[in-house]
Amino acid sequence: MKTDIKLCGVGGQGILSIATVIGEAATAAGLCLKQAEVHGMSQRGGDVQSDLRLSTEPVWSDLIPLGGASLILSMEPMEALRYLPYLAPDGVVVTASRPFVNIPDYPEEAAVLAELDALPHVLRCDIEALAREAGFPKSANMVLLGLAAPFLGLLTPDQLLDAVGRVFARKGEAVVQANQAAFGLGLDQSKIVSK
């Protein structure tokens, strides 16, 4: 069994933290893992994407081929659309619904969301608003990970939750609790906003 995940967003949104948590959970579960990252511009606002390939068998390439991603996990809706050529026909898109407008000619928000909503398997949510309302605005990325947890295949939500704790442990118990709560909020939301 395998799960190929295309993570995407813009700099500063926490895409690489999501990749770290998934990688930690996969390693602890004894899965084979390959990861490739592209860090766009180093300052906040540049394109950031990561390929994560999880499998019960050895993985020979760290790059996901076109049409091979089981899941596109995106912190930004237009970035989700950018990577659609990588999505498998039965793949799922899990994305934030609020745009991060970082270019002057960003498309109209309604058009971006309409294109996403036309996909057969998409789950989108205003993760930033959820995180802010719950009191942990810096943990929107963990809300997104919780939202995507049911679609990760080889990893259970509990394995991911434990990995969140290990990854953020060095930042203190308050940070661990905030990120685990954000993950739980996203997981709960996945049961409400599925399409």
pLDDT in tens, 80-112: 999 999 999 999 999 999 887 777 787 888 898
Residue 142 has pLDDT above 60, yes or no: yes
Superfamily of domain 2-190 in CATH is: Pyruvate-ferredoxin oxidoreductase, PFOR, domain III (3.40.920.10)
> Comparing C-alpha atoms, which of 97, 130, 143, 142 is closest to residue 116?
97
Per-residue pLDDT band at 117 (split at 50, 70, 90): very high
The token duo for 62 is: 């760290």
User: Distance between CA 131 and CA 53 in Å, rounded?
Assistant: 28
Residue 123 has pLDDT above 90, yes or no: yes
Element at 47 (helix H, strand E):
strand 47-55
Supply the pTM of this predicted model.
0.91
- Say if residues 14 and 145 touch (Cβ distance below 8 Å): no
Residue 42 has pLDDT above 50, yes or no: no
Please report, for the chain, the start and end positions of each structural domain, with discontinuous segments joined by +.
2-190
The one-letter amino acid code at 170 reads R
Please tell me the predicted confidence (pLDDT) of residue 45: 62
Please tell me the predicted confidence (pLDDT) of residue 92: 96
User: Distance between CA 63 and CA 45 in Å, rounded?
Assistant: 23
- Computed over every residue of the chain, the mean pLDDT equals 90
What percent of the chain lies above the pLDDT cut of 90?
71
End-to-end Cα separation, the chain, in angstroms: 25
The token duo for 165 is: 């704790």
